[in-house]
């Protein structure tokens, strides 16, 4: 008996043909029908393949036999993935299918702006001959800056090579070895990219860390005459800061993303030199790739249980969700020990006790903590692929349960320093006690038993009297109150750790002041 697949959208015919040629599916494609109306006619559908259609709880309930929803594209914000999971429905996407289309769009916008093609076309159609008004510039030989070296960023590097562009980039996850393979110069921070580049292209997600990060400080260091291209997310730009910057310096802004994909006035219209209606994935090739990926992923899931692109995956039976969160939290804390700009080389994990059988699952939250673009709903194959694409090695160590750590996780991160190629190691171990996440060890400092929740500052320094008082004094001067302190010494007694829980965020200026005052080898702030 064939399984019915409903495609309620304009999608390349290859999806329908692939499924029908397989022989195990009957496919109905309707490019203009209302999804709820179609549900009444095809309530026995086994799977939906959609693009931007909204798959709401009401829609899901209209398909009592639905098992899979495939988003032919990367973003899945139009699908209620949590409600789908509650109904036992897998939601999948097709990551990478649209990447080349977006990379090419960036170059197309850069060239159109540099050669004044849009206003020149309008002028010429109006019967004018204003050749002297449209003196342009070439992108060949210019410096391209990229924020985010994921799928799209890496493809953009390759495409820009055809124009002999020098590429500089910032990505706190991608390794230097991988950057060297791509021919990219990694810079220590995003401000450095804006200082150096003639063109800057954004390929970062929108989240609590990146929202509004392209702000007044960024625009203040941007070169006069430089061009910013945003084919990422609207929220990463502080529009008021951009508006103010364009009043005092010549900055180009090319935009393809908006808070909502819909008709109507756009708040960015007064500052965008080019704006298009989210055309990044709108190519026949991208449509074909997304359709082909969607069909093949559905077949692979049904036949072999391959779910590397499932975005609402359940935690397996037997794994306490607290350990999933523990792996994410420990990695986030450990990563901060290097600072945001060091380049990762390797991640090694040790899962003790009953967690050993769930080691593969725990790779996912670890990668999520390292890479904001990675979804924790994907599986371990996708997580390992992501690390590999960024030049980061992964190793699952052989945990020795004779050490008596119980159900605990150790995470070791190896990274190059900010200003040298020395390979540094940061290590952390944690467990769950009475339902509470617990950090039990940081590097050589054991028996900490700290609940990783709230604001923390961490310093490692040569052991001597008076240092903790100095830290406390400097925090007090900044109006910061201390809630808790752990101050153990290393086994050799030469170093001390000050792990201080505080009541609010601590600025980088305060951290630097304390670091210099106490000559700390490690100093950072993290919010957990």
The secondary element (H helix, E strand) that includes residue 29 is strand 25-29
Q: With a cut of 60, say whether residue 340 has pLDDT above it.
A: no
Residue 403's pLDDT is: 86
Find how far residue 28's CA is from the centre of its chain: 35
Using 50, 70 and 90 to split pLDDT, how confident is the model at 169? very high
Res 52: pLDDT: 84
404 compared with 194, residue with greater pLDDT = 194
> For residues 47 and 66, is the Cβ–Cβ distance under 8 A?
yes
The answer on pLDDT for 378 being more than 80 is no
For range 177-203, the mean pLDDT = 94
Per-residue confidence band for 339, with pLDDT thresholds at 50, 70 and 90:
low
Mean of the pLDDT values across residues 343-359? Answer: 90
What class has domain 454-528?
alpha beta
Q: How confident is the model at residue 225 (pLDDT cuts 50, 70, 90)?
A: very high
What phi, psi does 525 have (nearest 5°)?
-120, 145
Least-confidence region, from 114-118, 221-225, 285-289, 416-420: 416-420
Q: Which residues, 6+ apart, have CB-to-CB distance to 272 below 8 Å?
A: 253, 254, 255, 266
Query: Is pLDDT of 341 > 60?
Result: no
User: Distance (Å, rounded) from C-alpha 348 to C-alpha 413?
Assistant: 6
Confidence of residue 313 (pLDDT cuts 50, 70, 90): confident
Evaluate whether the domain defined by 314-453 bears CATH number 1.10.10.10.
Answer: no
Give residue 77's pLDDT band: very low, low, confident or very high (50, 70, 90). confident
pLDDT (average), residues 326-334: 92
The phi, psi pair for 405, rounded to 5°, reads -85, -5
CA nearest neighbour of 260 among 228, 233, 287, 231: 233
At residue 31 the predicted structure's pLDDT band, cuts being 50, 70 and 90, is: confident
Please tell me whether residue 401 adopts helix, strand or coil conformation. Answer: helix
Q: What is the pLDDT of residue 342?
A: 66
Tens of pLDDT, residues 456-476? 999 999 999 999 999 999 999
Per-residue pLDDT, 419: 64
Domain assignments of the chain as residue spans, ordered by start: 3-97+284-304, 99-275, 314-453, 454-528
Percent share of the chain, pLDDT over 90: 69
Domains 3-97+284-304 and 454-528 share a fold: no
Closest Cα to residue 239, out of 266, 199, 278, 279?
A: 266
Q: Which has the minimum average pLDDT: 207-211, 335-339, 404-408?
A: 335-339
Residue 418 confidence (pLDDT) above 80: no
Average pLDDT in the 129-145 region? Answer: 96
pLDDT band at 206, cuts 50/70/90?
Answer: confident
For residue 264, pLDDT beyond 60: yes
pLDDT reading at 44 higher than 90: yes
| Opening angle at CA 376, ends 418 and 407, nearest 5 | 85
DSSP output for 225-287: T-EEEE-S-GGGB-HHHHHHHHHHS--EEEE---SS-SSS--TTTTT-SEE-SS-TT-SHHHH
Q: Kindly state the tokens that stand for 447.
A: 């028996």
The architecture CATH gives domain 99-275: 3-Layer(aba) Sandwich (3.40)
Please give the structure tokens belonging to residue 344.
């990762």
How many CB atoms are located within 10 Å of the residue 262 CB? 8
SS3 181: helix
Task: Supply the mean pLDDT for the chain.
Answer: 91
Instruction: Name the maximum alpha-carbon separation found in the chain.
Output: 85
The fold of the 3-97+284-304 domain, in CATH, is Rossmann fold (3.40.50)
Answer whether residue 455 shows pLDDT above 70.
yes
- How many whole angstroms separate alpha carbon 58 and alpha carbon 41? 15
The DSSP bridge pattern shows strands 252-255 and 274-275 to be parallel
Residue-wise over 182-216: b if at least 16 C-beta within 10 A, else e? bebbbbbebebbbbbbbbbbbbbbbeeebeebbee
Q: Which two structure tokens, joined as six digits, stand for 287?
A: 């449509």
Which of 94-103, 218-227, 253-262, 313-322 holds the top average pLDDT?
218-227
- Answering whether pTM is above 0.85, one says no
Q: What is the pLDDT of residue 50?
A: 95
For the residues of 185-203, what is the DSSP string, one character each?
Answer: EE-SSHHHHHHH-SEEEE-
Task: Find tokens 């697949």 and name the residue.
Answer: 5
């Amino acid at each position: 008996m064939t399984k019915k697949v409903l495609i309620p959208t304009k999608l390349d015919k290859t999806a329908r043909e692939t499924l029908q040629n397989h022989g195990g599916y009957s496919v109905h494609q309707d490019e203009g029908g209302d999804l709820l109306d179609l549900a009444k006619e095809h309530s026995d559908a086994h799977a939906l393949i959609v693009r931007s259609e909204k798959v709401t709880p009401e829609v899901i309930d209209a398909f009592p036999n639905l098992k899979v929803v495939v988003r032919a594209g990367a973003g899945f914000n139009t699908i209620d993935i949590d409600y789908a999971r509650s109904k036992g429905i897998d939601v999948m996407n097709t990551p990478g299918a649209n990447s080349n289309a977006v990379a090419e769009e960036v170059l197309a916008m850069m060239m159109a702006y540099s050669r004044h093609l849009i206003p020149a076309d309008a002028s010429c159609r109006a019967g004018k001959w204003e050749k002297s008004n449209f003196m342009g510039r070439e992108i060949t030989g210019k410096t391209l800056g990229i924020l985010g070296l994921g799928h799209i960023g890496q493809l953009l590097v390759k495409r820009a090579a055809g124009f002999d562009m020098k590429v500089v980039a910032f990505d706190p996850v991608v390794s230097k070895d991988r950057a060297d393979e791509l021919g990219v110069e990694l810079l220590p921070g995003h401000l450095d990219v804006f200082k150096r580049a003639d063109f800057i292209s954004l390929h970062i997600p929108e989240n609590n860390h990146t929202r509004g990060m392209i702000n007044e400080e960024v625009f203040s260091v941007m070169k006069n005459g430089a061009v910013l291209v945003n084919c990422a997310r609207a929220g990463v730009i502080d529009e008021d800061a951009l508006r103010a910057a364009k009043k005092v310096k010549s900055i180009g802004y090319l935009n393809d993303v908006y808070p909502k994909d819909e008709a109507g006035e756009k708040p960015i219209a007064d500052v965008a030199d080019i704006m298009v209606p989210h055309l990044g994935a709108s190519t026949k090739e991208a449509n074909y790739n997304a359709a082909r990926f969607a069909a093949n992923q559905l077949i692979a899931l049904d036949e072999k249980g391959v779910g590397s692109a499932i975005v609402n995956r359940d935690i397996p039976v037997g794994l306490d969700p607290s350990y999933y969160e523990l792996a994410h939290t420990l990695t986030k804390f450990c990563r901060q020990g290097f600072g945001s700009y060091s380049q990762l080389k390797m991640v090694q994990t040790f899962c003790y006790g009953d967690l050993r059988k769930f080691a593969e699952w725990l790779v996912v939250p670890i990668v999520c903590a390292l890479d904001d673009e990675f979804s924790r709903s994907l599986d371990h194959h996708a997580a390992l692929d992501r690390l590999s694409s960024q030049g980061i090695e992964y190793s699952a160590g052989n945990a020795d349960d004779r050490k008596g750590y119980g159900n605990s996780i150790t995470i070791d991160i190896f990274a190059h320093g900010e200003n040298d190629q020395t390979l540094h190691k940061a290590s952390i171990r944690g467990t769950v006690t009475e339902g509470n996440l617990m950090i039990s060890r940081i590097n050589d400092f054991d028996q900490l038993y700290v609940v990783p929740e709230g604001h923390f500052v961490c310093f490692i320094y040569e052991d001597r009297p008076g240092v903790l008082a100095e830290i406390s004094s400097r925090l007090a001067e900044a109006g910061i109150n201390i809630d808790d302190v752990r101050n153990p010494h290393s086994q050799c007694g030469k170093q001390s750790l000050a792990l201080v829980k505080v009541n609010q965020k601590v600025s980088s200026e305060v951290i630097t002041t304390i670091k210099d005052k106490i000559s700390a080898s490690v100093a950072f702030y993290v919010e957990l």
